[in-house]
Structure 1
């Protein structure tokens, strides 16, 4: 068996995000999609970003890599090791995307080019970020498809995306993302629309590659079960804000924000006693009509008058535990965690 074709190891780095803010210029005025987002991802760590659609999860990933449309404006700081990404030149960003920071997009059938073979699409990344010759690149492409669990990889290399199933297309996307052996992987709902068996395989694959390659991962998902299974820490987002963050076990055992409590309450739990699932009344606010004060207060059963007037700051309540709620102690006392 041939030795793996390697592109060389990258040094371990920490991703540090501070006050990341993204706005969009529209016909309705300037809309704020992210508001002073701050977090950190350490080497080898998996951070989960959770929240309803429209909470800002995908915009967070795309803002960090400058993959937003021309009407977007991003400010704040995103440091990858010693390199600042906000304001970096297009050449610097092109060299970093794929090579050090890679992304698995949400829908493989729209992310993959339907008129190019899988080999061609993997090869593009290898050409851009490596020095391998044509033969070595083909060997590397076969190795990548084998790594992500595609059977008979050498015979599938020249197939087109439509010749693969949904789960296999997602594996191809992962192979492309891993082509240059990145040290940070953005996974934007990589298991959405896949059946539960394929979901489990994809999750195990990402975690296995995290161990093998020493990658850090930011995992965007709606599924709290996925977060419990894959992530070390979790950040809960609502209306472009992080409202609670901490170690997964701590947040899930005792939520301190009513939105986190509502999300956990909607998850079926095991046991003999049958309990109705909790629902969060109402819908997330439109970016064009954001409420004053806490964005969640119109849907919150714990709200008081202050919540409609002032925006609660993200406050430290324990070791690496943050929450943005004036009544977080009452929320914690009310229970609702998954381990009760």
Structure 2
């Protein structure tokens, strides 16, 4: 299976009152055809900025360095008109909040047809027919009638389905799903996730799913990358990372998930809060919150290093973490 996306040394700096600060730093990962990667971490860890950096959907004066190769073609430094032709057609994105992403004064059908007009040769009647087909594909009833509705006439779940229809309009090879179930109730979340899984199988797409919910990753993805303070601190298959985490942050995230088979259990949270952009330490960014930290962790930043085939972690204690966590339990 060939590689679709290869990201190496991706660093994104955003303009703040304190100057340009790195929101994402030295991010590496690859994605093969039909592959699915879950990107997890707390709010502010850099997940959404990473996704937007791939297509340079960033504020003005943001700086992107490193390499983003799409089917062997370098995207960093690509002219805006060439990048605009690629967005939506080959790589599409579902944004976090559909009520903000959808234009409130344009009908749903017109917003779907906009992408079709840019990326296909369909005429007006063909675009209308394809829009009906896309709404039906995402499970919206009576799509012929709902095309003429405005976003406020859709429920939250239906708005998210409309966003998915827009993203799928040009049949992209890669779907970037940035927390697609945010603000939806549990039942609708499950429906949306099953919809994405089905569409990915049927259309042969690859997907990067951004979420803070580990259960969502376990159900929807083959591989996972854990982000903290703008860096990937662990990556591997879902089975590898969830069964034997090798970074204390990953371990903390997994321990904070309640076990449905154990009633009246004490939940274990990660003490403290993630560092802001201007407050990141010289050594390991997780060191102030880590129960396994040593003196080295405060001064030397650990590299993301392989600890097993396909499994890497950025921790000086990665080789001993399983034993250390048992001792601390």
Q: Shorter-normalised TM-score: what interval? A: over 0.9
Write the deviation string for residues 20-50 of structure 1: whole angstroms up to 9, x where unpaired. 0001233212211111100001100110000
Q: In the alignment, is residue 204 of structure 1 matched against residue 184 of structure 2? A: no
Task: Give 1:84 shift.
Answer: 1.0
Match of 1:8 in 2: none
In the alignment, what sits opposite 2:9?
A: 19
Task: Quote the offset at 1:276 in angstroms.
Answer: 1.3
- How far residue 247 of structure 1 moved from its aligned partner, in angstroms, is 0.3
Q: What is the rounded CA distance, in whole Å, between the counterparts of 1:272 and 1:47 in structure 2?
A: 29
Query: Is 1:233 matched up with 2:223?
Result: yes
- Which whole-Å CA distance do the structure 1 matches of 2:309 and 2:215 have between them? 24
Task: Name the residue aligned to 1:266.
Answer: 256
| Residues in 2 aligned to 1:57 and 1:72: alpha-carbon distance in whole angstroms | 16
Quick one: which of 271, 275, 289 aligns to 1:299? 289
| Partner secondary structure for residue 278 of structure 2 | helix
Q: Which residue of 2 is the match for residue 256 of structure 1? A: 246
Aligned counterpart, 1:6: none
**Aligned equivalents of 1:99, 1:25: Cα separation in 2:** 30
Structure 1: runs of 5+ lacking an equivalent: 1-10
Which residue matches 1:130? 120
| Change in 2 beyond 3 A, CA 1:153/1:274 | same
Aligned-CA RMSD value: 1.3
Q: Distance in 2 between matches of 1:24 and 1:173?
A: 27
Change (3 A) 1:335 1:270: farther
Question: How many Å separate the matches in 1 of 2:203 and 2:136?
Answer: 15
Give the TM-score taking structure 2 as reference length: 0.97
Q: Within the alignment, does 1:321 sit opposite 2:311 as a pair? A: yes
Unpaired segments ≥5 residues, structure 2:
none
Is 237-246 or 322-331 further displaced after alignment? 322-331
Alpha carbons 2:237, 2:311 under 8 Å: kept: yes
Question: Would you say the 8 A contact 1:188–1:221 is kept in 2?
Answer: yes
Measure, in 1, the Cα distance between the counterparts of 2:208 and 2:163.
Answer: 16
User: How far apart, CA to CA, are the structure 2 residues paired with 1:305 and 1:334?
Assistant: 16
d(CA) in 2 for partners of 1:203, 1:26 = 35
How many residues align? The count is 326
Counterpart in the other structure of 1:332: 322
Which of residues 34, 43, 68 in structure 2 aligns to 1:44? 34
